[in-house]
Amino acid sequence: MVKSKKFLSALLSVCMCSTLLLSSCGGNSPGSSDTAQGKDGVSGKVTYLTLNQEDRDYVTKLTPDFNQKFPDVKIEVVTAPYDQFDQKLQTMIAGNTPPDVTSHFGQAGFMEYYNKGMLLDLTPMMEADKYDPVAVGIPKEIADIYKIEDKYYGLPLNTYVSVLAYNQDLFDRANIPYPTADYEDKSWTWDKMLEYAKKLTVNSDNMEAATYGLEWFWAEPDMRPLYFGAKVYSDDTWTNGGNPSEVYFNSPEVINVYQKLSDLVFKDRVSPTDSIVQGLGGQSGESFTSGKIAMKPAGAWILSGTNELPFKVGIAAIPNAGNDKIRDVLYVDPLFILKGSKNPRAAYEWIKFNLEPEIQEKMIDLSGGNPPSNMKAFEKYCSFFPNIDPKDLKMVYDGGIKYGTESYNHLVNNYSQIWTIVKNETDPCLLTGKSTAADVAPAVQEKVTKLLKDMNSK
């Protein structure tokens, strides 16, 4: 099964050769519609744009349930591949046939949609029918991610926390205790994890005999310093529409982080090189399934397929590396309505329907294990992975939400352009080991600073 974020880095590398230019669309007021009145005043067509992969286009199987509540509404599901998603959206907007509902399923993130003026404020409709996402079952920390100046521009469909997946068989073989799932356990630190990784690593030219204690290509390169308490973007980024006024890629703290991560591969040798990771991934693209990786942090999509693996899998908390407030990266996919929607009322009902506990439970089965945002469906999510201790999964989710922050690709404006520079310039340090972090940092700093200056001058 293809998980959209599992291949984010690889797909961005291929697809970011040009800048996405999304046009904002003219809007209807929340109460306006050119359709006849149906049940509860809701009728007509709702177009939903999503990805053409199993974990997303399952929604076609949910439309009969929706039509039991709203028989006069037709849900039209339009799909596109990940690398063509933004172009499909742009084409639909240019043709004056924008989708009513979609998400940031492509390269462009929420903040880019917001800054282009593309998103409808859902708050008036939510207030009119007294809809409270927290009362429905969505944690406040998650519901508020796409809330700006007390206005909701998206409601969360799926909430992926990051988890540390580990191979219990390799731990048993090395007689090492399993890492904890408890984020409040202060003994679970970066240094303890590295100690375990060294004991679990078997370096050998014979790949049959080799094992790696840790694979740490987690999160995008610009997010990794935050985990260690270093920041790359100025604080005003999070209050002015995702537009950094300054960046700090050349700071001693950030340089130290990048060198630490490079050393995992090329000095400590507890982590495989990028080429080995690609080889271990095989057709699935997921190196952890090879059985050669003892520990790997990743979004919760890594759990997909674990029921069929020939070894036992456990999940643990992301260890503490010095940032007491943030230890986890969240990947929350919201549903939002575009301003060009011709049927915003019906679109709003479609969004609410997808967040109902029983529908989220069906989504878990139909999608192959997509996580819910509604925690009333979480027990069902746990049962989907019978080989993983449900208590551990619950602790990891609770801790991930408490100590998590949303992925930068959703919150930083024009992220794809920044990402391209950061990745290209840090690869010689993080992926090949041909340069030190101190060598590559000045170029990252200079190029990203110039990019931001150019964008802010437009």
Is residue 421 a contact partner of residue 451, using CB atoms and an 8 Å limit? yes
User: Tokens representing 206?
Assistant: 């014979």
Give the pLDDT mean for 168-172. Answer: 98
Cα angle 134, 156, 289 (rounded to 5 degrees) comes to 120
Supply the DSSP symbol for 193: H
Give the pLDDT mean for 47-68. Answer: 96
Reported pTM? 0.90
Delimiting residues of CATH 3.40.190.10 domain(s) in the chain: 20-159+333-406, 162-329+411-456
What is the SS3 assignment for 362? Answer: helix
- What amino acid is encoded at 330 in this protein? L
Q: Which H helix or E strand runs over 49?
A: strand 44-51
Top pLDDT among 27 and 340 is at 340
pLDDT digits (tens, 9 = 90+) for 330-360: 999 999 999 989 999 999 999 999 999 999 9
Q: Which H helix or E strand runs over 447?
A: helix 437-456
What does the chain come to in residues?
Answer: 458
Supply the pLDDT for residue 39.
58
d(CA 321, CA 191): 8
CATH 1.10.8.10 fits 20-159+333-406, yes or no: no
Strand partners, 313: 167
pLDDT digits (tens, 9 = 90+) for 61-90: 999 999 999 999 999 999 999 999 999 999
CATH 3.40.190.10 fits 162-329+411-456, yes or no: yes
d(CA 284, CA 173): 26
Burial class (CB in 10 A: 0-12, 13-18, 19+), 303: buried
pLDDT digits (tens, 9 = 90+) for 252-273: 999 999 999 999 999 999 999 9
Supply the pLDDT for residue 12.
41
